[in-house]
A and B are shown apart, each in its own frame.
Chain A
Amino acid sequence: MNNNLYKYILGIADNSLILGQRLGELCGHGPSLETDIACTNISLDLFGQVRSYYQYAAKVIGDGRTEDDIAMLRKEREYVNVLLVEQPNTDFAYTIGRQFLFDVYHYLLLNKLQNSHDLTLSAIAKKSIKEVSYHQRFSTDWVKRLGDGTEVSHQKMQEAIDGLWTYTDELFHQTEADKIMVSEGVGVDVTSLKEQYYAIVSKILEDATLKTPESKWFQKGGKQGIHTEHLGYLLSDLQYMQRAYPNMEW
């Protein structure tokens, strides 16, 4: 059993689970049929990736826990996703802004994770990055359309970026488990992605006629299990069937 590897896998996978759940909430509720289908397809990609990670995590921890237990039966404080991905679908600009700010990071992370000495993580990364490149195209395209769109869409997109900005720095924080995994050649040193991330994001915001926020005050805590109020509501939805009918199956 390798506890650090287990924690490391969850640190990556929980982001995809929680963001996948958020996007899944739009199923049947998207602003238009096309965006509804796009968001739920991205959700499906993320859930598919999560299954691979959690199956591997279950194998690593080796105490009989299954991928479903890991997804469904942890308490709020045991989820280690970043605060960014749990933020609600306030409006379409927020949904797109959250997706964009995550996709740019996600692509850079997977790009490096492909070189992991851990062959399973490397295989998942090589598979996932192809999907994530489509996610990033989708969210980037919409940031530009809304930013460089009407006066109202511009204003809403700017508000979303301003509101979500405070959650971006946490993407580049390392936990103790992360540091150990990096030293073993398994994990990605996220601190090394930071500069490139902000350069890419700023460039796209500029293309979208949007301002890159200057605020230097950032929220953190998700990686330690300290979440915003939104995660509890999301989990009560996600876990409802397993909590109400323990061990139920399709």
Chain B
Amino acid sequence: MVSTEQHINQLLFPILEQVSDPEIPVLSIMEMGVVRSAIIENDIVKVQITPTYSGCPAMDVIGDDIKKVLSENGYNSEVELILAPAWTTDWITPKGRKALEEYGIAAPLDAEADKSVLLDGKRLVKCTNCNSKNTRLISQFGSTACKAQFQCDDCQEPFDYFKCLK
């Protein structure tokens, strides 16, 4: 049976926290919620990661980076990519959401609000530049598959919105 719980050995947490998503460098993979388990078994660290999107090209890099940082800390490791349970934006930590916003990417709204901004043109996404909610959808797909493009009608700044994935 698959579990939505994370099993992270607390010794490993600060090490893994040094690895960031190559497309969003301010966000560690721990804040992103892509590390589902990290345990030490017979002196080998076993890490399970799950992709944000199926085609996410960052997963191979993340796997390599995890092995590298663990080896720098004296651990041999194995990294396994798992698909179930599927990643959801709910796994982004509060600290991660804050980091996203500071980086200029609006954090995902809940599923209902997400639908109404993407389908019905509701103005609910907060501009990452001036905090106004007077923003509109430009495109349902943005610079990567996980984002949509928005523009603020107050300060005119374009920005990315991280789409809700549930």
Q: Do A and B come from one complex?
A: yes
Q: A residues near B, CB below 8 A?
A: 34-35, 37-38, 41-42, 44-49, 51-52, 119-120, 122-124, 126-128, 130-131, 134, 137-138, 141
| Residue contacts A-B, CB under 8 angstroms, 19 given | A37-B142, A37-B143, A38-B141, A41-B141, A44-B55, A45-B53, A45-B54, A48-B55, A51-B54, A52-B54, A52-B83, A123-B84, A126-B83, A126-B84, A127-B54, A127-B87, A134-B141, A137-B140, A141-B140
Q: How far is the CA of A23 from the CA of B99 in the complex (A)?
A: 33
Q: How far is the CA of A37 from the CA of B144 in the complex (A)?
A: 9
Q: B residues near A, CB below 8 A?
A: 2, 51, 53-57, 82-87, 118-119, 138-145, 149, 163, 165-166
Do A38 and B54 have beta carbons less than 8 Å apart? no
User: B55 touches which one: A49, A137, A141 (CB < 8 A)?
Assistant: A49
Q: Which residues in A have their C-beta under 8 angstroms from that of B141?
A: 34, 37-38, 41-42, 134, 138
Q: Which residue of A lies closest to B140 (CB)?
A: A138
Known: A38-B139, A41-B141. 5 other contacts (CB 8 A): A49-B54, A127-B86, A130-B165, A138-B140, A141-B140
Do B118 and A44 have beta carbons less than 8 Å apart? no
Do B86 and A123 have beta carbons less than 8 Å apart? yes
Q: Which residues in B have their C-beta under 8 angstroms from that of A42?
A: 141
Q: How far is the CA of A123 from the CA of B119 in the complex (A)?
A: 27
Do A128 and B144 have beta carbons less than 8 Å apart? no
Do B85 and A137 have beta carbons less than 8 Å apart? no
Do B55 and A45 have beta carbons less than 8 Å apart? yes
Q: How far is the CA of A230 from the CA of B130 in the complex (A)?
A: 50
